[in-house]
Amino acid sequence: MSITEQIPSLELLQTMLKIREVELEIARKYPDGDMRCPTHLSIGQEAAAAGVCAALKKDDLAVSTHRAHAHYLAKGGSVRAMIAEIYGKATGCSRGKGGSMHLTDWSVGFVGSTAIVGNSIPVGVGLGFSLKMKGVENISVVFLGDGSVEEGVFYESINFAVVKKLPVLFVCENNLYSVYSPLSVRQPKDRRIYSMVEAMGITTETVDGNDVAQTYRAALDSVTRIRLDQKPHLMELSTYRLLEHCGPNFDNELGYRSKEEFEFWKNKDPIKNFETDLIAKGVISEFDLIKLRGVIKEEVKDAFEYAERSPYPDENEAFANLYSA
């Protein structure tokens, strides 16, 4: 049996294609001025979200970062609800109050995302603590970026999860940059995040985050192990964003990353390479791939039309669900 046959190949491909098409359409329509919130796109990083979330159950919980679209969609979130949220409409998954960086949908176990670097990490650990107290087999997944490991709350959260033996999967998407700053100016030379964190008593691994099959297999092994022993685990996924840090454009003219580096990662496009592999193995034909892309394009088109015709929230909604301590 081939590696391809052992994984949900078509599900993974469909998820990545959906994420890519949604974000390409966001990039195309963003200049129109109807999406009045910052957007951080995951074009080039689709395999990380698709591979990890395919290994989860619907009632497993997940939290994310400012770059949350891919995680929300891969966890089963509605394209309509997400686009409506980015448009600030009442039909959005956060009722139009959160925008791109604050997606929430309890119906699929997506508890939330936040714009503050590292801010969702302790939330995800707290969710893991609640799951353990309830005695259920579900797990909490914390998606974070390489910049988050420079925040104190990351170490506090890892320590708490290890000490309390919590069912938490930390997924660090290492795309090499924090805005425009490479790892070389932010972290010690030759330090590896996964090996550094392992010293805190947590099991870790490093995975090619642009290889969706490898990511899925590693995530499934990790999730299975966490369900059995109720201990945390960290995956470091190497990946790369092709567009600018925030916004719909390319920003290579800024000079913070070399042409050679960009081309190297462009050639590691997780969708293109997976499509080529599946066609070569006969899992999908080029004709069926065209049909699948067409179906996804129609779904995305419908989502934008739905968002555009949806109403804005009532002004009184601004005072609903507010809490203070």
Q: Which residues contact 298 (CB under 8 A, 6 or more apart)?
A: none
Q: What does R_g of the chain's alpha carbons equal in angstroms? A: 19
177-178 vs 168-174, strand pairing mode: unpaired
Percent of the chain past pLDDT 70, that is, above it, reads: 98
CA distance 324 to 96: 21
CA distance 142 to 125: 8
**Residue 2 in this model has a pLDDT that exceeds 70:** no
Mean pLDDT value across residues 213-228: 97
SS3 state at 113: strand
pLDDT tens, position by position, 22-32: 999 999 999 99
CA distance 222 to 229: 11
pLDDT tens, position by position, 35-45: 999 999 999 99
SS3 state at 130: helix
pTM for the model stands at 0.95
Average pLDDT, the chain: 95
pLDDT tens, position by position, 82-135: 999 999 999 999 999 999 999 999 999 999 999 999 999 999 999 999 999 999
**DSSP symbol at 307:** H
CA distance 177 to 261: 12
Query: What order do you get walking across the sheet with 140-145 strand by strand?
Result: 110-113, 61-64, 140-145, 168-174, 233-238, 203-208
Q: Is 61 exposed, middle or buried (0-12, 13-18, 19+ CB in 10 A)?
A: buried
Q: Are 22 and 83 in contact (CB under 8 A)?
A: yes
**Residue 320 in this model has a pLDDT that exceeds 90:** no
The two tokens of residue 152 are 């104190």
Interhelix angle 212-229/9-29, rounded to 10 degrees, is: 110
pLDDT tens, position by position, 246-275: 999 999 999 999 999 999 999 999 999 999
Amino acid occupying residue 30: Y
| Distances from the Cα of 185 to the Cα of 147, 180, 206, 208, angstroms | 12, 10, 21, 23
Q: Is 311 exposed, middle or buried (0-12, 13-18, 19+ CB in 10 A)?
A: exposed
Least confident of 107-121, 281-295, 310-324: 310-324
SS3 state at 211: coil
φ and ψ at residue 59, rounded to 5 degrees: -90, 10
177-178 vs 233-238, strand pairing mode: unpaired
CA distance 173 to 152: 18
Domain annotation for the chain: domains and CATH numbers = 4-240+264-305 (3.40.50.970)
The two tokens of residue 56 are 């989860």
